[in-house]
Chains A and B, each alone.
Chain A
């Protein structure tokens, strides 16, 4: 395969180059096994993996299927495995990968593949819903509730989650045990357990004390490494574990 051929050297322009992508293909309709297909793509210096996938879809093979929307890392649609690591395709610049080698793109693991890079996210969303991801408070305030900046800061990190599933689908425990709540659900429980306005921490801690809960975490840090939002997922899980042991947030 030809790789990394500089084509444009105008001053001030990041040169274009050609890369090879190996993309994992699968369809429930054609009766074929999942397989790798390779595509050569010429990309601009600042293009992301999502741009390369679009070029394949738009110029070479319209049937290539993947989810995407915002294209700048805030909607969480395009988590995929790129060179063996879970990342958002729209946040991964091609030039930052090793472009002397082909780039491997495949669906995230642990969830059933529907078509190409699209997986069935239902079990992931169900685990999220199971931790009661909403504020539970008995007060009926007429105005805004008061919360100190320190109390607000306590759960700031876990408010950043975009439900992309990069963490959960990078977790070896989740790969082997689809019943495990998984990192993302725990992150979203954390977001409310440590919110001073919430009154149902005990309920969520009870839910996560389950045999499919936080104790299944083996602290491999895959999730923290995978999170495109910089959430220290493993730390959040540890904080939930400690809260269960303490019996309160």
Chain B
């Protein structure tokens, strides 16, 4: 028997994750049901706070706009792999989502007549691609920070119950009426090393992304995909995992994000000779083309020898023609990043940039009520997912900038509403006696390990192979190489070393467990990337460079089986927009 203390809690709605989606759900659920939020971090540390540029909504405050144009842009931006019913909801409900935030206190930038100001962003256009449109509602270049703060402030106002620095490691399912249903989650309390079982009628996963499978990433150290990994280990499917977004403008060598808002305000990408190369790749909207196209164009400039710098391995983001007062008012944070981390003065010098792993389009499949799918048709009653960890799918093969802050608000809210609705009539699913067994075993095995392999070494080797083989450009060969490396690393992971034997704040143990989730998700990404023998959105196969609608106008659905990974396919929901060639 384990000596570790196990605590039991019971709520109506259990929310895992305290970023934008989790807290937006909590604000909806809290007043109507006994709600708890469990978070690996103190809520305002969540990575929503790192989002910069804005939140899309066709308010039409500064020029003509419509939710229908926004829907079209989202579908086209996603290279037609977007479920169009979901995109329509995203665009339609965006206006209310922004008003909700304003009413909650969010300090948006304002127009001279006091309305919420809006600016341009990649892929957002007027009248189906005619010209860029000002659709992004923003608060300087810290919109995500303001959303995260505002949502937390309102959770404080509502007295929402939080368990912070609690690390959820397992989802407990139990069979009721012949069907597996969610019963509880099992969490590890970082401060004490004790275990907590949180039983809920409805359970919402809002656990964010997993950028740490890559070396160069804008993602936080804590974004290790634990939530998505937990769902995966339960044998539930993951959707469209091959679609990972590389944001064009990461600080070269570091991956720290420089918002697309810079280009929205007029910044220009240039190669070593100073050429505005996006004119060749996207003649109409140039630097404001969607992220996948810009990232590939940049990588291509470097590959063909037109990169800047001593090793010709980056391109330049030029803001020098923008008035310093515009930079200070609208882009203060990102220009400070350039000064702090690269010692570059953006007023007078162009900033070295290169694509950085940024956002998972794929994840836990859900329907438009944020209910988690068990397969192509059936849901898991009482289980919900929202935000980056989920795949509705509103982002398809490539997400448009400013649609993720929107996604967390629209589908976070929906998750909260439908979780409450379900909890009103549902009964708690009984928690099995040995609910914490797997977690206790995992922790004890790690803590008593006598292994010699260092977490940081294995993680770095994983990240190296992912950057080398599964990044902007992919081939059958490169993906096979990645799979071999991952298989080898998994073997070495059996011999993992945890030096910290203590119970309190054992972040050494935590990193070892996180690494296991990183392996799982990297492998699913590579396997689905192999199966998708075409190029679409963020997924580019050099050996299959064309989009192939005949065969691959479908979502991938990956399942963990006892032996390997099985990849199935799910139809795309098409309502108004038949697939067309994607040109900008």
Residue-wise interface mask of A (74-102) relative to B, using a CB-CB cutoff of 8 A (1 in contact, 0 not): 11110000000000000101000000000
> 3 shortest A-B CB distances, which residue pairs?
A12-B310, A135-B105, A62-B499
Indicate which residue in A11, A27, A145, A149 contacts B103 across the interface (CB closer than 8 Å).
Answer: A145
Given the known interface contacts A12-B310, A69-B41, the answer about A144 and B99 at a Cβ–Cβ threshold of 8 Å is yes
- A69 in contact with B220 (CB, 8 Å): yes
Is B234's beta carbon under 8 Å from chain A?
no
Give the residues in chain B near A148, CB-CB below 8 Å. Answer: 110, 114
- A63 in contact with B500 (CB, 8 Å): yes
Is A36's beta carbon under 8 Å from chain B?
no
Given A75-B41, A75-B45, A144-B99, 4 more pairs with CB closer than 8 A: A71-B220, A121-B42, A134-B154, A198-B105
Place the interface of chain A in its size category: 35 or more
8 Å CB contacts to B: which residues of A153-172?
A: 155-156, 159-163
Q: Across the two chains, which residue of chain A brings its CB closest to B109?
A: A152
Residue-wise interface mask of A (119-140) relative to B, using a CB-CB cutoff of 8 A (1 in contact, 0 not): 0010001000100011100000
Residue-wise interface mask of B (457-485) relative to A, using a CB-CB cutoff of 8 A (1 in contact, 0 not): 00000000000000000000000000000
Is B404's beta carbon under 8 Å from chain A?
no
Give the residues in chain B near A146, CB-CB below 8 Å. Answer: 113-115
- Which interface residue of A54, A66, A69 has the most chain B CB atoms within 10 A? A69
8 Å CB contacts to B: which residues of A1-33?
A: 11-13, 27-30
A interface secondary structure, majority: loop
9 sampled A-B residue pairs with Cβ under 8 A:
A27-B502, A46-B341, A57-B508, A71-B221, A115-B505, A144-B115, A149-B109, A159-B149, A163-B42
- In whole angstroms, how far apart are the Cα atoms of A160 and B140 in the complex? 10
- A29 in contact with B47 (CB, 8 Å): no
A contact residues vs B (CB 8 Å cutoff): 11-13, 27-30, 46, 54, 57-59, 61-63, 65-77, 91, 93, 114-116, 118, 121, 125, 129, 133-135, 141, 143-149, 152, 155-156, 159-163, 192, 195, 197-198
- A28 in contact with B221 (CB, 8 Å): no
Given the known interface contacts A75-B220, A135-B153, the answer about A147 and B47 at a Cβ–Cβ threshold of 8 Å is no
Indicate which residue in B110, B340, B497, B506 contacts A152 across the interface (CB closer than 8 Å).
Answer: B110
- B49 in contact with A162 (CB, 8 Å): yes
Q: Across the two chains, which residue of chain A brings its CB closest to B222?
A: A69
Separation in Å of the A17 CB from the closest CB of chain B?
Answer: 16
Given the known interface contacts A12-B311, A163-B44, the answer about A70 and B220 at a Cβ–Cβ threshold of 8 Å is yes
- B107 in contact with A156 (CB, 8 Å): yes
Residue-wise interface mask of B (482-521) relative to A, using a CB-CB cutoff of 8 A (1 in contact, 0 not): 0000000000000001111111111110000000000000
Is B445's beta carbon under 8 Å from chain A?
no
Separation in Å of the B65 CB from the closest CB of chain A?
Answer: 15
- In whole angstroms, how far apart are the Cα atoms of A173 and B208 in the complex? 39
B contact residues vs A (CB 8 Å cutoff): 41-42, 44-47, 49-50, 59, 98-99, 102-105, 107-116, 139-140, 142, 145-146, 149, 153-154, 156-157, 191, 220-222, 253-254, 256, 309-311, 333, 337, 340-342, 454-456, 497-508
Given the known interface contacts A62-B498, A72-B337, the answer about A149 and B112 at a Cβ–Cβ threshold of 8 Å is yes
- In whole angstroms, how far apart are the Cα atoms of A115 and B504 in the complex? 8
- B103 in contact with A75 (CB, 8 Å): no
- A12 in contact with B139 (CB, 8 Å): no
Give the residues in chain A near B504, CB-CB below 8 Å. Answer: 27-29, 114-115
Q: Across the two chains, which residue of chain A brings its CB closest to B337?
A: A72
- In whole angstroms, how far apart are the Cα atoms of A66 and B505 in the complex? 9
- A134 in contact with B156 (CB, 8 Å): yes
- A118 in contact with B505 (CB, 8 Å): yes
Give the residues in chain B near A46, CB-CB below 8 Å. Answer: 253-254, 341-342
- Which interface residue of A11, A58, A144 has the most chain B CB atoms within 10 A? A144
- A145 in contact with B102 (CB, 8 Å): yes
Given the known interface contacts A63-B499, A155-B107, the answer about A74 and B49 at a Cβ–Cβ threshold of 8 Å is yes
- In whole angstroms, how far apart are the Cα atoms of A93 and B139 in the complex? 28
- In whole angstroms, how far apart are the Cα atoms of A163 and B105 in the complex? 18
Indicate which residue in B103, B107, B340 contacts A91 across the interface (CB closer than 8 Å).
Answer: B340
- In whole angstroms, how far apart are the Cα atoms of A58 and B454 in the complex? 7
- B454 in contact with A59 (CB, 8 Å): yes
- B156 in contact with A68 (CB, 8 Å): no
Separation in Å of the A109 CB from the closest CB of chain B?
Answer: 19
Give the residues in chain A near B140, CB-CB below 8 Å. Answer: 156
- B310 in contact with A11 (CB, 8 Å): yes
Give the residues in chain B near A121, CB-CB below 8 Å. Answer: 42
- In whole angstroms, how far apart are the Cα atoms of A66 and B309 in the complex? 35
Give the residues in chain B near A156, CB-CB below 8 Å. Answer: 107, 140
- A65 in contact with B505 (CB, 8 Å): yes
Indicate which residue in B49, B105, B142 contacts A134 across the interface (CB closer than 8 Å).
Answer: B105
Give the residues in chain B near A29, CB-CB below 8 Å. Answer: 502-504
- In whole angstroms, how far apart are the Cα atoms of A160 and B141 in the complex? 11
Give the residues in chain A near B333, CB-CB below 8 Å. Answer: 74
Separation in Å of the B353 CB from the closest CB of chain A?
Answer: 15
